[in-house]
Structure 1
Amino acid sequence: MTNKIKPVSFVPRFFGAFGQFFKYMGSGDYAARCDTVGQGEQFAFEVEPKVITEEVEVIREIEVAAPVLDTVNADGAHQLLQLLQQEARFIDFIQESIDDYSDADVGAASRQIHAGCSKVLKQHFTIDVVSIDVVNTAAENSRVEVPSGYDAKQIKLEGRVVGDGPYAGTLIHPGWKVTETRLPKVTNTESLNILAPAEIEV
């Protein structure tokens, strides 16, 4: 792309000529460059390229694809929400804004909700830590070693994951998994989407 040069008016040329005269007389290199340009030749400054060598650490990010379900059965999800609402008024708590309540009020309500949710989980599910040797024998914040070829669905590596393992790190959370489900069997699923009926006092 060629930039169009704007002509210089007479007054700047007049004063500029004096400065160029003394500069031309005082520098042989500058005079040679002026002669080169005056002859119509293009003058360019050549700068030696600087080569920068930097070692780059290769970081491998491990992504586990979410499970793809052929069909989705919402009945179990609706049933669980019903139980949480019945025992802990879970939906009421989540649907209501708590911005206007004090921390003490929220804490008192959370204690009751915690007790109800805990009751639902213990009554209808058996939940245990992820069953792998790396987790079962270690406490949180302890140093563990993850072997190469580990199950990425059961172990999530965070931070700099370089190479193929084994990896050494700190156990942040042991993970959870459901080992048994004991949800009540429902024969009529037409109204499972009603998590809680409207209550009217007459």
Structure 2
Amino acid sequence: MADEIKSIGFVSRFFGAFGQFFKYMGNGQYAARCSAVSNGQKFASEVEPEVITKTVEVVKEVEVQAPKLDTVSEDGALQLLQLLQQEARFIDFVKESIEGYSDADVGAAARQIHAGCAKVVNQYFTVDVVNAAPENSRVEVAAGYDPKAIKLEGRVQGEGPYAGTLIHPGWQVTATNLPKVSNTDSLHILAPAEVEV
């Protein structure tokens, strides 16, 4: 039996989220697999042998109905990268190796990057929780819940309703306020090269 996946800390999740965002935007197959998991499909290690056949059928159905991600506009992702670089020097940070730096040095840099990223998110997005209940409180999940908004953990049996402990409230974007871009030709330039003369 596969080992249970262990939870990772906040800092690892914070930086991992950015990496996953760009991997999701740049790889249609990866995005389709993420979509399947967010829709309630389980990893092979989570499926009991008797439901493997049903899981395969669901995978085929999702692949047929999945949108063609290669037609999605990349302008918004490039614009967000530009803003993160401008306010937090985010690209500089993730492209530089941190192997030679101490934890204190990395922590000091992360503090500045956190402030810049927070400024971008707060200025251009309205982000709210999916479930407003306090973490670690008992919550009820109705039958027919939206698997994109609620992810059930542990041994899930039956069709609900379910009762459980809220591990994380989730996040959702309720409004965006990105600047209007009239010329998208230069969006691929995240930051210009700087030359002192």
Query: Would you say same fold, with TM above 0.5?
Result: yes
What TM-score results when the alignment is normalised by the length of structure 1? 0.64
- 2:183 aligned residue (179, 182, 188): 188
Are 1:103 and 2:103 an aligned pair? yes
* SS of equivalent to 1:165: coil
Pairwise CA RMSD of aligned residues? 2.5
Structure 1 runs (4+) deviating above 3 angstroms are 56-67
**Aligned sequence identity (%):** 70
How much does 1:142 deviate? 1.2
Equivalent residue runs for 1:1-202 within 5 Å:
68-69=67-68, 71-130=71-130, 135-136=131-132, 138-202=133-197
* SS of equivalent to 1:196: coil
Is there any run of 5+ residues in structure 2 with no aligned partner, and where? 1-47
**Structure with bigger gyration radius:** 1
C-alpha distance in 2 between matches for 1:193 and 1:175: 31
Which of the two has greater helix per residue?
A: 2
- Number of aligned pairs? 142
How much does 1:164 deviate? 0.8
C-alpha distance in 2 between matches for 1:89 and 1:187: 24
